[in-house]
Structure 1
Amino acid sequence: MKVAIVTGGSSGIGQSAAIQIAKRGVGVILTYGANRQGGLDAVAAIEKEGATAVALPLDVGRSGDFPAFRDSVVDVLRDTWQRDTFDYLVNNAGFGQSSLFEDTTEELFDQLMRVLLKGPYFLTQRLLPLMTDGGAIVNTTSNSASLASGLEPGYSAYATMKGGLIVLTRYMAREFSKRGIRVNAVAPGPTATRISGNAFERFPEVIPPIVAKTALGRVGESDDIGMVIAGLLSEESRWITAQNIDVDGGYNL
C-alpha cells in the first residue's frame, strides 16, 4: 500500500485532501497543530472509508521539531504499514492573516515566513530520504500570489511567502526529477475553511462580493481543492510536474 503524509490535515483543505487521498486506497499520516480533535476526526472519517490513517502533532513553524517528527514517521510507517518509506507528501499546513503593507510588523512577517515557506522547505528536506523514487509532492500555495487573478490589498506578506513557495515548487521539481519525484502546487482562491479564524463565519458580509468576482458563482469548498491534490498525486497525473495550478473557480476571470 502506498502512504501519504499530509500536513495540516485536521481541518479544511488538508483534511479534505487526506480523506480524498485515502479514498484512492492510500494510507495517510496526517498532522495537526492546535486542533487535535480535528486530527482525530479526520482519522475517523478515513477509517469509515475502510482506509488507514494516523494523526501526529506538528507545528510547521518550529523547524527544530522536524527531526523528532521524522522519527515519529519512521515508527508509524514500521508499526502501521510495515514499511520504512512513504510515497507522497502534501505541504499544506499554514495560516492566513491579512495586514496592509504599512501595518505589517516584523513579528507577523517572520511568523508567516516560518510557517508558509521555511517550514515546507526544511520539512521536505528532512523527509526526502524516506520518500520512494517515483513519488509525488503537492504544495498548497495561493492565488493571492498569482499575477493573473489574486492580488488584493492586505496580503503582501502572506502572498510573498506563497510566491516563494511557487518558486520553490519549480526548484524541487527540477532537483527531485532525477529520482522520478514529481512536484506540483495548487493555488486555492477564496475557500470556506477555518483559515483566518473562521473569517467566513465571522464576517459573512464578505461572501457576496467574492461570489460576484468568481466566474463559477460561489465560494470554494475544501473538497474543490482536496480532490485536485489527490488527483495530482495519482497515476493519472504522472506527466505533470513543476506546475502551480489555480483552483479558484475563475476568480477575477
Structure 2
Amino acid sequence: MSRNTTIALVTGGNRGLGRATVLALAGQGTDVILTYRSNEDEAAAVVEAVAALGRTAVALRLDTTEFGAFPDFAASVREALRVTWDRETFDFLVNNAGSSVSTPVGRTTVEAFDLLGNVHFKGVVFLTQELLPLLADGGRVINLSTGLTRFFGEGYAVYASFKSAVETYSRYLAQELGGRGISVNAVAPGPVATDFGGGRLRDDEQVRAHLAGQTALGRVGEPEDIGGVIAALLAPGTGWISGQRIEASGGSRL
C-alpha cells in the first residue's frame, strides 16, 4: 500500500450524508474507515461500493454514545491501519454520526436532551480526543453542524443548540491543533433529502416543495451535495481553510 494514500475516518458512514461522503472521498482517491452503529449489511454494501471505485474501505462498529468503548475502538482503528495500510495514522476525521428527535420548547424530555447531547456533542468531543493520537500531523477534521444554527426549524431547539456547541468546539480545535498543521472546520448542511428525522425531506413532496421555495437554488439538497462539499474541503489545495463554519444549503433562507 502506497504511503501516499490518504485515509479518512467517517463516522456513520453506512447511510445518508456519511455514505455520500465516503463515496465522494473514494471517488477522489481516498481510502476510508467507516463506522456503523447497527446495520452491518449497509456498511458492507458501502465497502463494496468503495471497492468498485478502485479504493479500499474498512467498516468498524461504533456507537458514539458508548463513551467507555472509545479506547477499544481506537485500538481497532490502529489495528485496521496496520493490517490494511501498513500505517500508524490516518489523515482525515469526519464526525458525521447523528440522530434526530423532536424537542419542542416547553415539552422537551430529559431523555431527548441527553440523547442529542451525547450523540452530537459529548460523543464528538470524546471520540475526537481519543483519536487525535492517530490523526496525522497536517491532517484535517470536519465536524457536521446544521443550517439550523442560523435559521429556525420548529422542534429543533436542542439539536441546533448542540450543533452550535460543535461549531464553537471546532474553532477551539482549529486553534489548538494548528501547531500540528491540522485544519478543522464545521460543515452546516441545509435541508437534505435523507432518512434523518423520519425521512420527511426525502419522502414528503409538500415539505420538499415548501423548502425548495425558500432556497436560492430552488431545490432541497441531496446527500451527494454534502458529500461533495466535505470531499472538496479534504481535497488538495483547501488545507488553508480552518476554523470556519461552511454552510452548504443551496442558499437556504437568504
CA deviations on 1:59-98 (whole Å, 9 max, x unpaired) are 1111111111101101100110011111110000001222
Give the TM-score, by structure 1 length. 0.96
Residue type matched to 2:8 in 1? A
Q: Distance in 2 between matches of 1:247 and 1:20?
A: 15
Q: Which residue of 2 aligns with 1:76?
A: 80
1:153 Cα deviation from its structure 2 partner: 2.1
In the TM superposition, 1:99-114 aligns within 5 A as 99-114=103-118
Q: Distance in 1 between matches of 2:47 and 2:205?
A: 30
Q: Which residue of 2 aligns with 1:118?
A: 122
Q: Does the 8 Å contact 1:145/1:159 carry over to 2?
A: yes
Q: Which residue of 1 aligns with 2:190?
A: 189
Q: Does the 8 Å contact 1:17/1:227 carry over to 2?
A: yes
Q: Distance in 2 between matches of 1:43 and 1:109?
A: 33
Secondary structure at the aligned position of 2:213 is classed as: helix
In the TM superposition, 1:208-223 aligns within 5 A as 208-223=209-224
Q: Distance in 2 between matches of 1:4 and 1:153?
A: 34
CA deviations on 1:204-228 (whole Å, 9 max, x unpaired) are 3311111111111111000100011
Unaligned runs of 5+ in 2: none
- After superposition, the Cα gap between the structure-2 partners of 1:201 and 1:240, relative to the gap in structure 1 and judged at 3 Å, is closer
Q: Does the 8 Å contact 1:62/1:114 carry over to 2?
A: no
Q: Distance in 1 between matches of 2:23 and 2:202?
A: 23
Q: What is the root-mean-square deviation in Å for CA atoms of aligned residues?
A: 1.1
Give the TM-score, by structure 2 length. 0.96
Determine if the alignment matches structure 1 residue 98 to structure 2 residue 98.
no
Residue type matched to 1:90 in 2? V
Q: Does the 8 Å contact 2:194/2:202 carry over to 1?
A: no
Q: Does the 8 Å contact 1:46/1:52 carry over to 2?
A: yes
1:244 Cα deviation from its structure 2 partner: 0.7
Secondary structure at the aligned position of 1:235 is classed as: coil
1:142 Cα deviation from its structure 2 partner: 0.2
Q: Distance in 2 between matches of 1:58 and 1:36?
A: 11
Determine if the alignment matches structure 1 residue 145 to structure 2 residue 149.
yes
Q: 2:137 aligns with which of 113, 126, 133?
A: 133
Q: Distance in 1 between matches of 2:203 and 2:55?
A: 34
Q: Distance in 2 between matches of 1:78 and 1:238?
A: 26
Percent pairwise identity: 46
Secondary structure at the aligned position of 1:237 is classed as: coil
Structure 1 ranges of 4+ moved more than 6 A: none
Q: Does the 8 Å contact 1:60/1:115 carry over to 2?
A: yes
In the TM superposition, 1:1-253 aligns within 5 A as 1-146=5-150, 150-201=151-202, 203-253=204-254
1:17 Cα deviation from its structure 2 partner: 0.6
Structure with greater helix percent: 1
Q: Distance in 1 between matches of 2:48 and 2:160?
A: 33
